[in-house]
Structure 1
Amino acid sequence: MPTLRPPGRVPRALTAGTALVTLALLLTGCGGDSEAATATGDAAGKVTVGQLSNGAARPTTLDVPEVKALHAELPAAVRARGTLVIGVGALPSGFPPLAYVGGDQKTLTGAEPDLGRLVAAVLGLKPELKNSTWENMFVGIDSGRTDVAFSNVTVTEERKKKYEFASYRQDNLAFEVPAKSTWTFRGDYRALARKTVAVGSGTNQEKILLEWKDRLAREGKRLTVKYYQDSNSTYLALASGRIDAYFGPDPGIAYHVRQSANTPRATRNAGTFSGAGAGLQGLIAATAKKDSALAKPLTDALDHLIRGGQYGKWLAAWNLSDEAVPKAETDPPGLPLDNS
């Protein structure tokens, strides 16, 4: 999974996920692209999502016939080639549940490659996955070797200088608590008074949490922030009651909630918060080279999946329904330049 670095070098919504949900499944070819094996084996007009997920998803077969009118929107070169080259930045290791090596130890699985396959089916194209490091994923787009990235990329105004976007998921953070906890976060920082919360150091969510801590301190209330070196330590502290909650990326928390279900350390999602802060809902988007003429057909294909219900079933399969958007947008407002 990508290391903990500022946005622009790693998938923004996963900046704390490394310490908490990284799988020790190293992929090959860390320096550049690798042709990613992908579990297709689908009949024409059908796509099965959630395959080889190691329990992170419920395998679900969806009807996804080609839409000729959307195929016609594609640039001529893409139509002639007949493939959609999809970039994923999951080297050197995956970031579950979004992109990681599946149960067969070779196939790239996850919510992001699955959505790329759904979009390709709608557009009447064969999906071709290319896995790489986060940095090389953008190099692939810049060079034209990759058509589009489905890799948890947050829309920012800075990135709009080079790329065009088709949004498909909210960029959310979340609070994870023991399943037996009755505490819920509904967006008001004052609910954190007298709580002890773990967070990843140097992350976007740490920045937000420390701002809330300062606000509470000015109001004469206390929020205690804790740091742990690895996921085991964090979840041991959560299970033993040394902390009340963990604040991290919503997809990583969704993964752990499903993995811990029906165990003595079962957890639940206690509420989400936009990764962009209170003033703007952050959005995750398919990312193509600026002026590639791909953003509109990608947006229309995503909207088709939303209206047809396949989108909702894809999110549900990966336990990400709380990140649903009502519609896809081309180049929606992104994180401002002073927060990109």
Structure 2
Amino acid sequence: MSTHFTRRSLIRGITAATAVASLATGLAACGGDSDAATTTDNAKSGEVVVGQVSNGAATQTAIKVSEVKSLSAELPAAVRKSGTLKIGIGALPAGFPPLAFTGSDQKTLTGSEPDLGRLVAAVLGLKSEVQNSTWENLFVGIDSGKVDVAFSNVTDTEERKKKYEFASYRQDNLAFLVPKKSTWNFDGNYENLAGKTIAVGSGTNQEKILLEWQAKLAKEGKKVTVKHFQDSNSTFLALDSGKIDASFGPNPGFAYHNKQTAGKPNATRTVGTFSGAGASLQGLIAATAKKDSGLAKPLADAINYLIKNGQYAQWLKAYNLSNEAVAKSEVNPPGLPLDNS
């Protein structure tokens, strides 16, 4: 996978993505070394099927959605005339569930990100064309006009606003993962961690946050033990054997793991989330278009239509991501500041 696809900030960076990528071992197929475009119009008019060929990463769900002419009228003339929304995904060389990955048919790009793009396109009365690339080429594609918009787990940052405009659609969250049988829950307060042993990826944004909490607890005469493992499989084994109480990492990857282990002896659950931007700001994932393209507002309005009419909740539920819901889509909301973006 692209080691930048799950980048929340420059601090979080490569290792956060690596931690999520390892969750996909054995499921996500390689997408190839060059850009690949897939036109993914829905076979049935007025319906988008999310979670197709997702191989257990989602519950396949047929969602009814049709063009809203008052919203499609907001589109820039060139996009409206083309009849197609070119959606960029930065998931090469290998994607990861549940966000974006090659499906079980070994060719279809599936996942929560391209599926939301398809829903938005339907509301705007456009065909959807999903183009997969590396993370770097995703932004090249936006800059050049090869794609209209990225639905690719892109965090809204003040640095990126210099070149792009945003329509938010999902919270950017970290989470704690525990065995399903565990009675512990994270309540959002770092003091809740006292006496626990927590695994975290080295060099990640979540490690930075956890170490800050560890230092605060130490000043209070309390202790949280921080553990590091070489890969996610080792972390999950430690969790299952009781060597650690919880693992702290990107929420979507844990949502996928919960689905994969449901009903099994090693079943897990998520016990609380925390903003990837830290305590002072809720990080947001946003549809990303070229600055001054005129796309952010119609995209946000289409997302808000899906929120108001229930399709948005259906989409999140299908991917076990309901804990990352936003109340509304905003155009260029406050993003990670320049010193942390």
TM-score range, shorter chain: over 0.9
Q: Is the 8 A contact 1:101 1:107 kept in 2?
A: yes
**Aligned partners of 1:320 and 1:112: how far apart in 2?**
11
1:2 aligns with 2
**Cα shift at 1:248:** 0.6
Alignment of 1:326 onto 2:327: yes
**Cα shift at 1:41:** 4.0
Q: Secondary structure at the match of 2:294?
A: coil
Q: Is the 8 A contact 1:175 1:269 kept in 2?
A: yes
1:50 aligns with 51
**Cα shift at 1:320:** 0.4
**Aligned partners of 1:97 and 1:25: how far apart in 2?**
10
1:161 aligns with 162
Number of residue equivalences: 338
Instruction: State the AA in 2 paired with 1:43.
Output: K
Q: Is the 8 A contact 1:116 1:150 kept in 2?
A: yes
1:118 aligns with 119
1:89 aligns with 90
1:35 aligns with 37
Q: Is the 8 A contact 1:197 1:243 kept in 2?
A: yes
Q: Secondary structure at the match of 1:175?
A: strand
Q: Is the 8 A contact 2:60 2:318 kept in 1?
A: yes
Residues 1-340 of structure 1: matches in 2 within 5 Å?
Answer: 1-3=1-3, 7=9, 14=17, 16-23=19-26, 25-30=28-33, 32-36=34-38, 38=40, 40-340=41-341
**Aligned partners of 1:85 and 1:12: how far apart in 2?**
29
TM-score normalised per structure 2? 0.95
Cα 1:52–1:10 change in 2 (3 A) is farther
**Aligned partners of 1:283 and 1:14: how far apart in 2?**
17
Q: Secondary structure at the match of 1:233?
A: helix
**Cα shift at 1:84:** 0.3
**Aligned partners of 2:38 and 2:193: how far apart in 1?**
43
TM-score normalised per structure 1? 0.95
**Aligned partners of 2:303 and 2:89: how far apart in 1?**
18
Cα 1:24–1:201 change in 2 (3 A) is farther
Per-residue Cα deviation, 1:2-36 (whole angstroms, up to 9, x for no partner): 32777359699856312334556443442x42113
Instruction: State the AA in 2 paired with 1:49.
Output: V
Q: Secondary structure at the match of 1:80?
A: helix
Cα 1:22–1:135 change in 2 (3 A) is farther
In structure 1, stretches of 5+ residues that fail to align are none
Q: Is the 8 A contact 1:122 1:301 kept in 2?
A: yes
**Aligned partners of 1:189 and 1:120: how far apart in 2?**
41
**Aligned partners of 2:85 and 2:46: how far apart in 1?**
16
Per-residue Cα deviation, 1:264-308 (whole angstroms, up to 9, x for no partner): 100000110000111110000000000000000000000000001
Identity between Structure 1 and Structure 2 (%): 69
**Aligned partners of 1:17 and 1:309: how far apart in 2?**
29
Cα 1:122–1:314 change in 2 (3 A) is same
Q: Which sits farther off after the overlay, 210-219 or 290-299?
A: 210-219
Q: Is the 8 A contact 1:170 1:323 kept in 2?
A: yes
**Cα shift at 1:44:** 1.1
**Aligned partners of 2:72 and 2:84: how far apart in 1?**
11
**Cα shift at 1:229:** 1.2
Per-residue Cα deviation, 1:290-334 (whole angstroms, up to 9, x for no partner): 000000000000000000100000000110001001100000000
**Aligned partners of 2:16 and 2:27: how far apart in 1?**
20
Moved >4 Å (runs of 4+) = 8-15
Q: Which sits farther off after the overlay, 194-203 or 283-292?
A: 194-203
Q: Secondary structure at the match of 2:313?
A: helix
Q: Secondary structure at the match of 1:94?
A: coil
Per-residue Cα deviation, 1:178-219 (whole angstroms, up to 9, x for no partner): 000000001100111111111111111111011111111111
**Aligned partners of 2:53 and 2:99: how far apart in 1?**
13
Q: Is the 8 A contact 1:261 1:267 kept in 2?
A: yes
Q: Is the 8 A contact 1:175 1:248 kept in 2?
A: yes
Cα 1:288–1:56 change in 2 (3 A) is same
**Aligned partners of 1:292 and 1:246: how far apart in 2?**
41
**Aligned partners of 1:244 and 1:21: how far apart in 2?**
23
RMSD: 1.8
Per-residue Cα deviation, 1:112-147 (whole angstroms, up to 9, x for no partner): 000000000000000001100111101100111110
Q: Secondary structure at the match of 1:212?
A: helix
**Aligned partners of 1:6 and 1:286: how far apart in 2?**
14
